[in-house]
Amino acid sequence: MYDGLTSPGRNDECWCGSGKKYKKCHLDFDERLEGLFEAGEDVPSRDLLKTAADIEGVKRSAAVNVGVLDYVAERIGPGVTTEQIDTWVHDYTVEHGAIPAPLNYEGFPKSVCTSANEVVCHGIPSADEVLAEGDIVNVDCSTILDGYFSDSSRMFCIGEVSPEAADLVRVTKEAVEEGLKAVKPWGHLGDVGAAVNEYAKAHGYTVVREFGGHGIGLEFHEDPFVSFVTEPGEGPIMVPGMMFTIEPMINAGAQEIDMTDPNGWTVRTADKSLTAQWEVQIVITEDGYELLSW
């Protein structure tokens, strides 16, 4: 097969764990993948495709991830420090039998990313960072439960924000929704990024190139990379079972970013303009997609 993985015999048990014979389960599916590969398409390896058991495991993880973001939403406001948010996320996650995925990931020192105003991503919570009226902040939560990973983020407007900030937050969420509309089984992943980028640009905003979405489920970051500055009809085929995040980072000003923070993590807009991000996690199904974490 195209991916170098062994295929079962026709009458052997299918690789997906369904218990069915291969010929009655994924044989035709695999032949379709092979045909697409031979036609020159970018086809994901079958070991990236999630089984029914995998998807159920991720759903349990996502229930904690969504729950912690709901918990933050009930409490965040002016005067809250980003360190408090980190404590909320850590304690809620652990109390629900899970692990905050960011904590100690490649040396990241906290349980959540909190990215306010001009911070594009990977903001590190701090007791010295006090959220004030008019701020906008992204809270990016990732959870491990029983070895399954979930990941989503939300924007929060702190008190009353400027019309410009409110518009950026709204349009960024709508851009994610436009990306979801472009998700079609057996379509190209580039269609998703193109829809996001077109919507953002139509509202006068720019989309960060260097960071994007990613595969997820059995690891924190898996293939494919999900760019949001793509062209329609390009990129990997969205095969049922593929699981990834849609998480564009959209700037009010220029597209360029600044990665020079000495902490080695925090990324800002180069021109210090406001930026926003929403993130959802989905799995491709036979007839569309299923939203797992938001």
pLDDT band at 177 (very low <50, low <70, confident <90, very high): very high
234 carries a ligand binding annotation? no
pLDDT tens figures, 64-114: 999 999 999 999 999 999 999 999 999 999 999 999 999 999 999 999 999
| 214 carries a ligand binding annotation | yes
**Is 122 labelled a binding residue?**
yes
pLDDT tens string 132-142: 999 999 999 99
pLDDT value for 220 = 98
Q: How confident is the model at residue 7, as a pLDDT?
A: 92
Residue 15 — very low, low, confident or very high, per pLDDT cuts 50/70/90?
very high
d(CA 138, CA 250): 12
133 is an annotated ligand-binding site residue: no
151 marked as part of a ligand binding site: yes
Give tens-digit pLDDT for 233-250. Answer: 999 999 999 999 999 999
Residue 279 annotated as binding site: yes
Say what the pLDDT of residue 41 is. Answer: 98
Instruction: Find out whether 86 is annotated in a ligand binding site.
Output: no
* Domains of the chain (ranges, CATH numbers): 46-293 (3.90.230.10)
Residue 133 contacts by C-beta under 8 Å, 6 or more apart in sequence? 78, 158, 159, 160
